[in-house]
């Protein structure tokens, strides 16, 4: 059940995570990947914490339903862009990650405008993809923070990220197409 007040503890945690996005990107661009790794780790912990608090104490809100995934997407996209700018991640992978998230947000907004507005839970493949993307970003940040050059592990993990990103993106594309094709039905 979603209730108020809108700015409660879980939403404040999500907002704090959102405020750390530019700091993480700045750290990466300024070759402070070790510190950025710890910020990414704290962001992951805060994501788990805000979700736990919201569910456990039944203080979920509409703001939280938008703020939590927005903070997650902003953090991941910013980290991937910064890692791309510093040539720690291949440019095609950065483009794929960013394109998927732009497509998901665009599809959500279009579905909200055309179909019956409602909350859509994330797809299972999307949860897997987010976990894989975070793991790879953390791996790259830790590796770069230790001064280790990219190797075969980076390439293999890039392929795993690419595969789950494509599967997740296609799954959302199908979801949004179905919703938009039948706007009178709630799926």
Q: What is the pLDDT of residues 27-62, one digit of tens each?
A: 999 999 999 999 999 999 998 899 899 889 988 888
Closest CA to 89 of 35, 138, 45, 56: 138
**pLDDT above 60 (res 130):** yes
Closest CA to 68 of 5, 13, 21, 110: 13
Single pTM value for the model = 0.90
Q: What is the pLDDT of residues 6-28, one digit of tens each?
A: 789 999 999 999 999 999 999 99
With beta carbons less than 8 A apart as the criterion, state whether 108 and 177 touch.
Answer: no
Domain locations in the chain as residue ranges:
9-181
Least confident stretch, 62-66, 125-129, 171-175 = 62-66
**pLDDT above 80 (res 116):** no
- CATH class, range 9-181: mainly alpha
Confidence of residue 184 (pLDDT cuts 50, 70, 90): low
H helices of the chain, where?
Answer: 9-19, 21-29, 33-56, 62-85, 91-114, 124-145, 152-181
Least confident stretch, 1-10, 28-37, 133-142 = 1-10
Confidence of residue 122 (pLDDT cuts 50, 70, 90): confident
Over the chain, what is the mean pLDDT?
91
* Torsion angle in degrees (nearest 10) through CA of 6, 7, 11, 13: -170
Q: What is the pLDDT of residues 61-93, one digit of tens each?
A: 888 888 988 999 999 999 999 999 999 999 999
Q: How many CB atoms lie within 10 A of CB 157?
A: 18
| Distances in whole angstroms, Cα of residue 113 to Cα of each of 36, 62, 107, 118, 155 | 37, 16, 10, 10, 39
**pLDDT above 90 (res 110):** no
**pLDDT above 70 (res 2):** no
φ, ψ of residue 20 to 5 degrees: the values are -80, -10
**pLDDT above 90 (res 178):** no
């Amino acid at each position: 059940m979603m209730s108020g007040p809108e700015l409660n503890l879980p939403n404040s945690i999500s907002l704090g995570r959102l405020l750390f996005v530019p700091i993480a990107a700045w750290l990466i661009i300024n070759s402070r990947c070790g510190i950025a790794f710890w910020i990414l780790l704290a962001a992951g912990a805060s994501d788990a914490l805000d979700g736990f608090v919201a569910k456990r104490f039944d203080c979920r809100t509409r703001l939280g339903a938008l703020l939590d995934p927005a903070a997650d997407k902003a953090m991941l996209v910013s980290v991937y862009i910064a890692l791309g700018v510093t040539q720690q991640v291949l440019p095609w992978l950065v483009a794929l990650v960013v394109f998927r998230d732009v497509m998901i947000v665009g599809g959500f907004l279009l579905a909200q405008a055309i179909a019956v507005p409602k909350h859509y839970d994330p797809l299972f493949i999307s949860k897997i993809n987010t976990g894989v993307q975070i793991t790879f970003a953390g791996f790259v940040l830790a590796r770069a923070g230790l001064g280790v050059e990219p190797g075969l592990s980076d390439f293999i993990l890039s392929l795993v990220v690419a595969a789950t990103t494509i599967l997740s993106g296609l799954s959302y594309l199908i979801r949004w197409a179905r919703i938009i094709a039948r706007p009178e039905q709630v799926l």
